[in-house]
Amino acid sequence: MAKQLVSPVERHIEKVILGVAVVALLGSVARYLVSSPNQIELDGQRVTPQSLDTVIASKAERICQRIRDARTVTESPEPLVDEFSASLTPLDQSETWTAVVSIRPAAPLVDKAGQVAGQYELVEVMPLPKPRVTHGRSTYSIERDSGVAFVPANWVTVSSLVDVREQTSRQRLAYGATRSELIYGSTEAQRRSQRSDGSWSEDDWVLVRPWSIGVPLPGEPEINFRQADGRVESDPATLNRLEAFVDGLSKPEVQLELLRPLIPVIENGTEWSFPILTTCHDVLKQDDEISYPNDAPAAEPEDRYGLCGVGGDEEAADNAAARARQVFANAAALVAQAKATSNPNDAMSARNMYNEVMRDAEASPTDKQKAKTLQAKAEQLYRDIERQNRRRAGQDQKLVEDNDDGLERPAREKLPLQQVWVNDARPGQVESGKTYQYRVRQKFFNRLAGDPGKFREPEDAKRVYVAGEWSEPSDPIVVAPDVEYYVVSQDERDAQVGFRVHQWYEGVWVESRKLQLAVGDAVAGEVRVEVPDLEDPLVADLALVDFHSDAILLDVDFDRPFRDRKRGGGREGVRFGGRTKGACAVALVDSSGTLSERFLPIDKDDPSLRAAQSRKWKPSK
């Protein structure tokens, strides 16, 4: 049997590997069970995961304890009370101080409580309510160096209301109580015309150039800044310009013309009227407040418009019911104003208005009973206001020193509303035959103009005026055409058609003789007609009038199929004739390329032709 050859290593290799494994196992047990290998050094000591949280918590507690035990070092400032008291010594309170202070920006102003310098923002100006509009066509008489000129023009007056109480409150909150008084700038208006497709566009708004007022306005001053001791301030020249500007702007006659400017003198045509948003008498009281701000309200304010006399507040009424409705509306407005302003005179005026209805012999029993009930309420309101005013008398009346007599009088309480308007009355601006809308906004003098140190944005101090947003557009108005023409005859042999043109001329309507026109001719011609004499408008003068219309005769059809149109009965406003026949028809084109068609039978029977013939001017017999 062969002898096996196995080396010692081969015989004991398994024991060696097993021993190495046992040694490694024992080392791991000793390292991870007896001691931890995950240690870090924290402030010179080894810390394991098990003890890390405890060590950090202990250190945090020691830090908190040191903070609690630390001493606060305080400094005692030098007292300045004595120095401040000494600075007031020169003020001798025994002297009489003027109660009226200048509204100029250069005067010392008191900041509102809790407001630090450099934090003011521009006051917000309220948007005006949707405006109302009146319009017409008239002839002005304007005095020039060469004599009196007669200028025909379309005019539009667009008007809205300023909420004085709310705007004053906003200015007080924005700038402080000493700068809450409103100084009015201009009322701005924009107009836009309706497009040929009947649409409106925001891109079509145009700023209105109003009729120039009779009182000159002070020029807007230039405001310049300079650096002084690290602060931004206005230079002395700027303050002087601002002072002169505010003096001129604040004049009652300037403020009145800015709010409610007058239109040129109207010789003939449509009489001017402003939109009655409250009552005509209210406007006169507003005028009185602006013209005489330190006087008591006048019982019968001056009427500089000539519109507020007998019947001035009422539209022409054909019957007692219409008169009563107008009186009720006006009196209700006075009652509302009496409640808002605590003015007993308004309540008594309303009471007297109701009495007019009760004394009207033609008024219905219902209107008289209604007037009697409302009159009793107006009388009670009058007594309530009188009682309230007596309780308030002498309690907290603010006294002002004004006029040359040096007497002290209670300050005049401001009316809650001011009606403002713009006259779009320059010749050639408002075109005949167009449809317009208007919008308005109000501008006020910036009471912190020239004082950059007060504003968060110093550039705001360069704004002389602050304006509100544009109002909602007014309802559309249609400016009637100043030229009308009608087909009145036909001449088939000479291929001509007869036209009559009616035209507004120097404040009156005139009619041309019959114009015989052929294809390609403009509906126009020079004709001598009777017009008012320049010296005596009741006497006729033969003037050469250039009759013109924006139309050219494009084509004529003397036998165009046509059905008569007659007035229907009942629910049928119009009915057509029973058979078709030939009639003279003309095609016309205007400067915008718009085509139109006119029929001789329709034009001859058109009620507007009869109306045009009846309104043409005729000399007095």
pLDDT digits 0-9 by tens, 422-438: 999 999 899 998 999 99
Q: 28: helix, coil or strand?
A: helix
pLDDT tens per residue, range 289-311: 999 988 888 878 888 887 775 33
| Three-state DSSP state, 247 | helix
Say if CB 274 and CB 159 are below 8 A apart.
yes
What is the reported pLDDT for 196? Answer: 83
Nearest in space to 161 (alpha carbons), one of 352, 394, 445, 441: 441
Does the pTM exceed 0.85?
no
Per-residue CA distances from 174 to 76, 122, 168, 449, 483 (Å): 37, 7, 10, 13, 54
For the domain 115-216+254-277+419-480, what is the CATH superfamily, name and number?
Immunoglobulins (2.60.40.10)
d(Cα 263, Cα 310) in Å, to the nearest integer? Answer: 21
Torsion angle (degrees, nearest 10) of CA 277, 278, 283, 289: -120
Write the pLDDT tens digit of every residue in 209-262.
988 767 788 889 998 888 877 778 888 888 899 999 999 999 999 999 999 999
3-class DSSP state of 383:
helix
Dump pLDDT digits (tens) for 375-399: 888 888 988 888 887 776 655 444 4
pLDDT tops 70 at residue 407: no
Task: List the structure tokens of 346.
Answer: 């308004």
Q: Residue 237: which of 247, 225, 249 has the closest Cα?
A: 225
CB 453 within 8 A of CB 473: no
Higher pLDDT: 125 or 215? It is 125
Q: What average pLDDT does the segment 452-465 reach?
A: 90
Q: What is the DSSP letter of 31?
A: I
Instruction: State residue 587's pLDDT score.
Output: 95
Angle between helices 320-341 and 280-291 (to 10 degrees): 40
The letter for the amino acid at 418 is: Q
The CB-side HSE value for 545 (13 A sphere, CA atoms) comes to 25
193 exposure class (CB count in 10 Å sphere: 0-12, 13-18, 19+): middle
